A and B are shown apart, each in its own frame.
Chain A
Amino acid sequence: MTEVMVSADHALIRQYLVKVSAGLKPIGEDQKKEILAEIDSHLRERIEELRAESEPHPIERAISGLGDPAALASEFVAEAQTKSGIHSYAPWTLLRKAARLARTGTKGLFIFLIGLMGYGLTIAGLVLRPHR
């Protein structure tokens, strides 16, 4: 299971994040960290708000506001598999997406270069194909 990297100093927040994390298995490591950090930030913000309003049990209430951790995780998984834009597998769209991936790190850069090589080979093959 992924180590929860966020600075969850309260046991209840930490427990909640661990449960969310368990449901995020299909999601990539970087995205998972990002999700957990954002939930952690949200909970801290809510706890402060509730404390300022002198509400009882601010931590428990902030956590229950986000709902069941498994349900929250599955919403993330569902949204990760949905596209809000128009589906397009046009070569330039894929390359643009790969280029965006390339900026995220070595692995992304690798994928981008492989993709670029693939297109290069295809074009070379089309141009240089033996005439019969």
Chain B
Amino acid sequence: MYLAMPANTEHEDRWGAQIRKGSLDLAILAVLWNERLYGLDILRRLQSASLEVAEGTLYPILMRLKNDGLLESTWVEAEAGHPRKYYWLTRAGRQRGRSMVQSWDAFSQSISGLLLPIKNGAKER
């Protein structure tokens, strides 16, 4: 369900999709950190950060995050004529966001060290 990103091989593309999928929960908590947003709004924020999320992927995740008590939601009658479902973070959602950021930082630090040889590339051939 994820849109294709520039990649050399199909394998890299699948790998990229897995990374994006794994970070989606955190990305959603992050875009809701300071404001209440409805589904399409959340989608736009993620897309403008180059996280290409398929429309059909977002809503089931929002449902799970809400079922787990990380998000709360309410229907708001919009001037457009149909109601919109707005989401915001619960206290548990904020806690989870903070702990995920810690894990994320710890992980990216440890992997960055491992990546140095690839980045430096000096030993090539």
Q: Assuming A41-B83, A45-B84, A84-B68, is B40 touching A76 (CB within 8 A)?
A: no
Closest to B54 in A: A67
> How far apart sit A39 and B80, CA to CA, in the bound complex (Å)?
16
Q: How close is A15's CB to chain B, nearest CB, in angstroms? A: 17
Choice from B59, B64, B81, B96 contacting A82 with Cβ under 8 Å: B64
Could you say which of B1, B25, B68, B82 has the most chain A C-beta atoms within 10 Å of its C-beta?
A: B82
Closest to A65 in B: B55
Choice from A34, A65, A80 contacting B64 with Cβ under 8 Å: A80
Query: Which of chain A's residues have a CB closer than 8 A to the CB of B63?
Result: 31, 34-35, 76, 79-80
Query: Which of chain A's residues have a CB closer than 8 A to the CB of B82?
Result: 7, 40-41, 44-45
Query: Which of chain B's residues have a CB closer than 8 A to the CB of A94?
Result: none
Choice from B70, B75, B80, B92 contacting A44 with Cβ under 8 Å: B80
Query: Which of chain A's residues have a CB closer than 8 A to the CB of B1?
Result: 67, 71, 75
Interface residue B5 (Cβ < 8 Å from any Cβ of A):
no
> How far apart sit A75 and B65, CA to CA, in the bound complex (Å)?
14
Closest to A75 in B: B60
B39 pairs with A85, CB closer than 8 A: no
Given A41-B85, A78-B60, list of 8 further CB < 8 A pairs? A34-B63, A38-B39, A41-B39, A42-B55, A45-B82, A65-B55, A82-B64, A85-B70
